[in-house]
Amino acid sequence: MAREYFPGVSAIRYEGPDSKNPLAFKHYNPKEKVAGKSMADHFRFAACYWHCMKNGGGDPFGPGTRNMPWNTASSDPMGVARDTMDAMFEFLTKLGVKFWCFHDRDIAPEGRTLAESHRNLDQIVAIAKKKQIETGTQLLWGTANLFSNPRYMSGAATSPFPEVFAYAAAQVKKAMEVTHELKGQGYTFWGGREGYDMLLNTDMKRELDHLGAFLNMAVDFKKKIGFKGQFYIEPKPKEPTKHQYDFDAAACHAFLMTYGLVNDFKLNIEANHATLAGHSMHHDLEYAASNGILGSIDANRGDELLGWDTDQFPTSIYETTLVSLVLLKHGGFKTGGLNFDAKVRRQSVDPVDLFYAHIGGMDAFARGLKIAARCVKDGRIEKLVRDRYNGWGKDLGKKIEAGKLDFTALEKIALSSPEPEARSGRQELIENILNEYI
């Protein structure tokens, strides 16, 4: 029988808002319906293998600190991999999260050769498959780590070296196969080092062409193996590189259109990446949704006074409300979900801190959803917006939107019209109303 890695923790239950039990949900009640759908179905929460199981808390000024017995009990890398899979599913089960995400190299160690790495992966995937069935857990998406190994220091698909491109292709092929094997609902490409450290030593156009070719190959391979999951790319502006090609949602959108990929990919949007690019999470979600490319969410939060990806757990009810509003407005997730791409702080050394962190994030989203649902139901903000644009439902607006007026016709109208009336945007009032729902 498997060792228990979180011995003091039993299954986390919903106890309601008056509970003071730090190991209970106070707001997240998976089966409770909000706006016609269960909370579980709204969010499709996932936990991520890398931060939960493999990130010890190291930073550029010191190594890891966390007490992670699954990584230390065995002296053999494959033994560690098996122990970690036990720990991950114990964690998922106790937390009550039904989806997970991983990189190939999170779950199985890199071997001395690519063939050995493939074999390692296959062995662990077989275990994961069994555990998925036993626990009713699903794979939200899989991905390949194309940024940690020194071979990828100059990029993977955008490496100046074709041998690296080939290696990356092989690694992605395998990661797609195992994602398919695990019935993954999606597959994510995060171009961690697909960018540059210095423009003067970089052939940007050629690198972008290579990235376009690489992703087109992935589309071809997907069809070949019959994988039906959704492809995602994930915007991030910088870090580790000075500048990443998938800078933000709009840059990804331009890239996908340029390389004929816009129908095959959606975006996996991460809060902290949006803010590093100078956008609110709300903006990048709305941009993606408006352009039909919103796919999935990496939930976390950054610290806007810091300039790096802090990957903190999302606890601001304002932020979770705005995310929920976008989800309600655009019909919610299809294949995607809400993956906590977040890590406990370096001083949070106890295994139980991992539970506190996820409980806090899930409760914050549950509250955000209920607030957003109240906001939608009450309708006062929506009405203010509708009233603001009501001119477009009248004669002039309708004709413009129908394309019936050109510059000449519009000039005639403007010349004979009074000065347009100034109408307040009511930002302060809307902020106040939003606070009423909280």
Question: Which residues in 174-193 contact its own copies (CB under 8 A)?
Answer: 174, 192-193
The least distance separating its own copies from the CB of residue 197, rounded to whole angstroms, comes to 6
Which region holds residue 6: left if phi is over 0, alpha if psi is between -120 and 50, else beta? beta
- Convert residues 251-270 into a mask of x (bound to its own copies by CB under 8 A) and - (unbound): x-xxx-xx------------
* Matching residue, tokens 């816009």: 262
Please identify which of the residues 42, 51, 103, 180 carries the catalytic annotation: 103
The DSSP symbol for 301 reads B
Q: Which of 110, 122, 264, 353 binds its own copies (CB under 8 A)?
A: 353
103 is catalytic: yes
Interaction residues for its own copies, span 98-117 (CB under 8 A): 113-115
- Is 197 a residue of the active site? no
Selected range binding its own copies among 1-9, 18-26, 32-40, 124-132, rule: CB under 8 A: 18-26
Distance CA 15, CA 23 (A): 10
String marking each residue 359-398 x if it binds its own copies according to CB under 8 A? xx--xx--x------------xx--xx--xx-xx-x-xx-
Q: Are strands 230-233 and 186-189 parallel, antiparallel or unpaired?
A: parallel
Q: Which of 119, 213, 259, 334 binds its own copies (CB under 8 A)?
A: 213
Question: Angle of helix 351-378 relative to helix 317-330, nearest 10 degrees?
Answer: 60
**Nearest-approach distance from CB 288 to its own copies, in angstroms:** 11
Residues 74-103 within binding reach of its own copies (CB under 8 A) = none
Interface size with its own copies, residues (CB under 8 A): 156
Residue 349 touches its own copies, criterion: CB under 8 A: yes
Q: Which residues within the stretch 224-243 sit at the binding site for its own copies (CB under 8 A)?
A: 224, 237-240, 242-243
Q: Which of 27, 83, 104, 106 is catalytic?
A: 106
Q: What are phi and psi of 110, to 5 degrees?
A: -65, 130
Q: Does 212 bind its own copies (CB under 8 A)?
A: no
Of 133 and 258, CB closest to its own copies: 258
Q: How far is the CB of 131 from its own copies (least distance, A)?
A: 26
- Relative to beta strand 243-244, strand 195-196 is antiparallel
Write down how long the chain is: 438
Q: How far apart are CA 360 and CA 24, in angstroms?
A: 10
Give yes or no for a contact between 297 and 269, defined as CB atoms under 8 angstroms apart: yes
Encode burial over 139-177: b for 16+ CB neighbours within 10 A, e otherwise: bbbbbbbbbbeeebebbbbbbeeeebbebbbebbbbbbb
Q: Which residues share a beta bridge with 99?
A: 46, 138
**Residue among 1, 10, 11, 20 that touches its own copies (CB under 8 A):** 20
85/299 with CB nearer its own copies: 299
By CB under 8 A, what part of segment 120-179 binds its own copies? 147-154, 160-167, 169-174
DSSP state of 198: -
Select from 31, 75, 201, 404 the one that contacts its own copies (CB under 8 A).
201
Region class of 166: left (phi > 0), else alpha (psi between -120 and 50), else beta: alpha
- Cα–Cα distance list, 142 to 55, 178, 190 (Å): 18, 8, 11
Binding to its own copies in span 312-341, by CB under 8 A: 313, 315-318
Contact predicate 89/131, CB 8 Å: yes
User: Token match 């601001």: residue?
Assistant: 316
Give me the residues paired with residue 59 across strands. 62
Contacts of its own copies in 22-61 (CB under 8 A): 22, 26, 57-61
Q: What distance in Å separates the CA atoms of residue 288 and residue 286, rounded to the nearest whole number?
A: 5
Cis peptide before 60 (omega within 30 of 0): no
Is residue 427 close enough to count as binding its own copies by CB under 8 A? yes
Q: Kindly write out the interface string for residues 282-311 of this chain, putting x where it contacts its own copies by CB under 8 A and - elsewhere.
A: xx--xx--xx-----------xxxxxxx--
Q: Which stretch binds its own copies (CB under 8 A): 36-44, 90-98, 210-218, 265-273?
A: 210-218
Catalytic residues: 103, 106
